[in-house]
Structure 1
Amino acid sequence: MSDRLPGFSTLAVHAGAQPDPTTGARATPIYQTTSFVFNDADHAASLFGLQAFGNIYTRIGNPTNAVLEERVAALEGGTAALAVASGHAAQVVVLQQLLQPGDEFIAARKLYGGSINQFTHAFKSFGWNVVWADPDDIASFERAVTPRTKAIFIESIANPAGSITDIEAISTVARKAGVPLIVDNTLASPYLIRPIDHGADIVVHSLTKFLGGHGNSLGGIIVDAGTFDWSASGKYPMLSEPRPEYHGIRLQETFGNFAFAIACRVLGLRDLGPALSPFNAFMILTGIETLPLRMQKHCDNAKAVAEFLAAHPAVSSVNYAGLASDKYNQLARKYAPKGAGAVFTFSLKGGYDAGVSLVSKLQLFSHLANVGDTRSLVIHPASTTHSQLDDAAKIKSGAGPDVVRLSIGIEDKEDLIADLEQALGA
């Protein structure tokens, strides 16, 4: 091509990929191997010493995974990326580079229930402490900052309620505090929102969801924006100080604006080991090729379903930022003008029992704990994904007892509405 910057749909198909140089295969091959042969002893030593780029062992990197990493980095506008085994693994690997025992990070209270559980309970064993803030009250993030704060974590579109987070406003707080802003962009995908354009320093995804898009492969990814100076404050020794395992290399000094992605690979993935299977990388790459087509259909369907529910007498409220009446509609217009996503919640007048009953009566919607599938999905968060929380915490996170979460697929919208209509009528 010329010097023209490729468009999003072109990048979704082509970024990171070339025909296989040996066979000419057009689709990226699955390099289903544990390890790779070195040219000679000097080549091996240079790879292990971070003096050359190349393949060593699939736990650290793999050619199939590398195409996936380059593609998502291109779609998000980042400098580099690292694929890992799941979205949860991405969060562990990211925070391992930033936090020491006793350190804190601030997280938006409106998050996926699994992340709330991971942050509140699992991370305690590492000595990492979460401080919660309200994404609807930007000042709460400022109040939460202490000398121990090392990062701020938010979701661009929050799970389960589908609310839109004011990324730029929270980025301003992070800049003032001198800490990186981490944005989970799973529900939006870069087709709808590119958090780096709005001040994010690190983006994470559960590749399992919209990027893969077909409910068949687990995966996660970390994207380095290349925007944060890891040496400025002395708060991030993993990146700014000499690494003894690599002969005193300072990662920020050596790798510049993709140092964080390198740290996640050679310090996090290498030692923690949550490697992504090359087969899963291949499946997710295939899914990404149709991301723009799918996401637009997801959003168009979701808006139609939300409008139907908002007018139904059994429904007390609908939380979908794509509705003109929604409190997050202005933020949706700013951050996600192509659509407000496909995951949202609604509340039933019959409360907890009505939510459980509705889930059991739906026929086309699949009752399961996932989002971002081509198929439409439903769950009652209070009895499942957020069941570990007390009632007050459930309500604060958008998963009250009367709430049902939908992930709208790419079926015909008329069929989805008919299924909801029969279930609500029953």
Structure 2
Amino acid sequence: MPEKLHYGFTTTILHNDRRKVIEHGSLHKPVHTSVAFGYNDARQLASVFQGKEPGFRYGRQGNPTVSALEDKISKMEDGVASLCFGTGMAAIGALFQALLRAGDQVVSSAFLFGNTNSLWQTVAGQGVDVAFVDATDVANVAAAITPATRMVFVETIANPRTQVADLVRIGELCRERGILYVVDNTMTTPWLFRPKTVGAGIVINSLTKSIGGHGMALGGSLTDTGLFDWSAYPNIAPNFRKQPASQQGMAQLRAKALRDFGASLSPDAAHQIAVGAETLALRMERTCANALALAQMLEADDRVAAVHYPGLASHPQHDLTRKLFRASGSLFSFELKDGINCFDYLNRLTVGIPASNLGDTRTLVIPVAHTIFFEMGAERRASMGIAESLIRVSVGIEETADLLADFGAALDV
């Protein structure tokens, strides 16, 4: 496949490995399990360690199988480089580990995945100020920025209440102020949206979710889009300033978060995620269509108090969603009317599975306030709009009719 030709999203991902030489003509990058890499010339080994030429040093910092996945992720996000980590949370934690110092500030959306919220609370306890704001309006972000602000952090579609950040205008603000704009793209995936188009400097993906897609491997990634000027970032260590400015951020992240902190992705997991990624577009088309149909059905039922899904006209950011994303995602949440117990409802489902993951091929459901957001307490949940009866639904690839029948029948008490 000539590199000069432009191919579509799925074609590119399917054939990306074989653009480079693979042993024995394999169509997949093999799983390289070795943690050490030998060189015939000791001078070359030293040159690789010093960053003067490409190569692998030690499995914690890089591996041929993981590297192949990183290249796929970069292609998906139209980025210049990607790093893969053992989990999505490890990827987010890498930002703190490698790029922030005591006295810095992060402006973060208040509408966050529960573990991300917990991580920022930990970060705040270690000397980094974290300002939580309603990121659906850029004015709130602008008001929180101080001279100490090092990054602005948002999710595309918030998990679980599906608020959509003011992505375009926040990107413009960060570009004007010279602030690193970090966008978690997990809920939309690179198939529905590329954060680079709104000015993101770093893009996060939980590879565990829709990109891997089958609930079989943990993983996370950071992608440098090439839009941020690392030469102006104050926290780059002197030894990484020797790199070209465009490579300084990734060089420091690889060293501080992989070499020093050890948040590495295993080659076996990398292989499973890479194979899953081949069908991302196909799966997302099905799951998004299923999610819209199911959300519409539930919204029309008078036993349901509210449905939160950007694909519905009733959603506050519905128009923005239509402008930004290819579709509205495969996740939504809903609240039951008083008198319908959320646990009893979930127990009546036969297709939807009570489980905490999302982005799986199977439809997964969870009572949010009692599980993944329980730790943060009622007051914080209320500030995020999370009702006690809120049920999160990660919609799978089942037949639409089966899902509609299952969720509808469970309402019949």
Query: Which band: TM-score by shorter chain?
Result: over 0.9
- Is the Cα contact below 8 Å between 1:86 and 1:220 reproduced in 2? yes
Rounded to whole Å, the distance in 2 between the matches of 1:325 and 1:130 is 31
SS in structure 2 of the partner of residue 424 of structure 1: coil
Amino acid at match of 1:289: E
| 1:17 CA displacement | 4.1
- Is the Cα contact below 8 Å between 2:349 and 2:406 reproduced in 1? yes
Rounded to whole Å, the distance in 1 between the matches of 2:388 and 2:178 is 38
Matched residue, 1:346: 334
- Is the Cα contact below 8 Å between 1:152 and 1:174 reproduced in 2? yes
Amino acid at match of 1:179: I
- Is the Cα contact below 8 Å between 1:161 and 1:343 reproduced in 2? no
SS in structure 1 of the partner of residue 244 of structure 2: helix
Rounded to whole Å, the distance in 2 between the matches of 1:387 and 1:82 is 31
- Is the Cα contact below 8 Å between 1:160 and 1:398 reproduced in 2? no
Relative distance call for 1:357 and 1:73 in structure 2 (3 A) is same
- Is the Cα contact below 8 Å between 1:19 and 1:27 reproduced in 2? no
Matched residue, 2:169: 169
| 1:125 CA displacement | 4.8
| 1:202 CA displacement | 0.2
- Is the Cα contact below 8 Å between 1:167 and 1:200 reproduced in 2? no
Matched residue, 1:304: 293
1:219 corresponds to 2:219: yes
- Is the Cα contact below 8 Å between 1:20 and 1:29 reproduced in 2? no
Amino acid at match of 1:347: E
The number of aligned residues is 412
Matched residue, 1:183: 183
Within 5 Å, give how 1:329-344 maps onto structure 2: 329-336=318-325, 338-344=326-332
Matched residue, 2:377: 390
Amino acid at match of 2:260: D
| 1:14 CA displacement | 2.0
Rounded to whole Å, the distance in 1 between the matches of 2:6 and 2:258 is 32
1:236 corresponds to 2:225: no
Relative distance call for 1:295 and 1:398 in structure 2 (3 A) is farther
Q: TM-score, normalised by structure 1?
A: 0.93
- Is the Cα contact below 8 Å between 2:206 and 2:219 reproduced in 1? yes
Rounded to whole Å, the distance in 1 between the matches of 2:366 and 2:152 is 28
Rounded to whole Å, the distance in 1 between the matches of 2:33 and 2:69 is 15
Amino acid at match of 1:422: A
| 1:20 CA displacement | 5.4
| 1:370 CA displacement | 0.8
Within 5 Å, give how 1:23-422 maps onto structure 2: 23-120=24-121, 122-232=122-232, 235-238=234-237, 242-243=238-239, 249-251=240-242, 254-336=243-325, 338-350=326-338, 354-422=341-409
SS in structure 2 of the partner of residue 203 of structure 1: strand
Deviations 1:338-372, CA, capped at 9 Å, x for gaps: 31001111111127x72232222222111111100
Deviations 1:100-129, CA, capped at 9 Å, x for gaps: 112110100111011111111x22453222
Rounded to whole Å, the distance in 2 between the matches of 1:203 and 1:61 is 20
Amino acid at match of 2:179: V
- Is the Cα contact below 8 Å between 1:18 and 1:28 reproduced in 2? no
Rounded to whole Å, the distance in 1 between the matches of 2:264 and 2:132 is 30
SS in structure 1 of the partner of residue 359 of structure 2: coil
Deviations 1:78-116, CA, capped at 9 Å, x for gaps: 100000101110011123332111211010011101111
Matched residue, 1:246: none
Rounded to whole Å, the distance in 1 between the matches of 2:209 and 2:96 is 21
SS in structure 2 of the partner of residue 42 of structure 1: helix
- Is the Cα contact below 8 Å between 2:212 and 2:275 reproduced in 1? yes
- Is the Cα contact below 8 Å between 1:299 and 1:339 reproduced in 2? yes
Rounded to whole Å, the distance in 2 between the matches of 1:236 and 1:228 is 14
Deviations 1:4-30, CA, capped at 9 Å, x for gaps: 222111122122444754322222100
Rounded to whole Å, the distance in 1 between the matches of 2:29 and 2:267 is 11
- Is the Cα contact below 8 Å between 1:368 and 1:377 reproduced in 2? yes
SS in structure 1 of the partner of residue 93 of structure 2: helix
Rounded to whole Å, the distance in 1 between the matches of 2:11 and 2:111 is 33
- Is the Cα contact below 8 Å between 1:19 and 1:25 reproduced in 2? no
| 1:39 CA displacement | 2.5
SS in structure 1 of the partner of residue 341 of structure 2: helix
Taking only the aligned residue pairs, the percentage that are identical comes to 37
Amino acid at match of 1:393: R
Matched residue, 1:15: 16
Deviations 1:39-90, CA, capped at 9 Å, x for gaps: 3110111111111111111100000001100001111011000001011100
Let me know the Cα RMSD of the aligned residues.
1.6
| 1:33 CA displacement | 1.1
Gaps of 5+ in 1: 244-248
Rounded to whole Å, the distance in 1 between the matches of 2:281 and 2:346 is 29
Amino acid at match of 2:268: F
Relative distance call for 1:359 and 1:16 in structure 2 (3 A) is same
Amino acid at match of 1:40: D
Rounded to whole Å, the distance in 2 between the matches of 1:402 and 1:334 is 31
Amino acid at match of 1:153: F
Amino acid at match of 1:374: T
Deviations 1:143-195, CA, capped at 9 Å, x for gaps: 11112111000001111122322211111222233211100000100000100
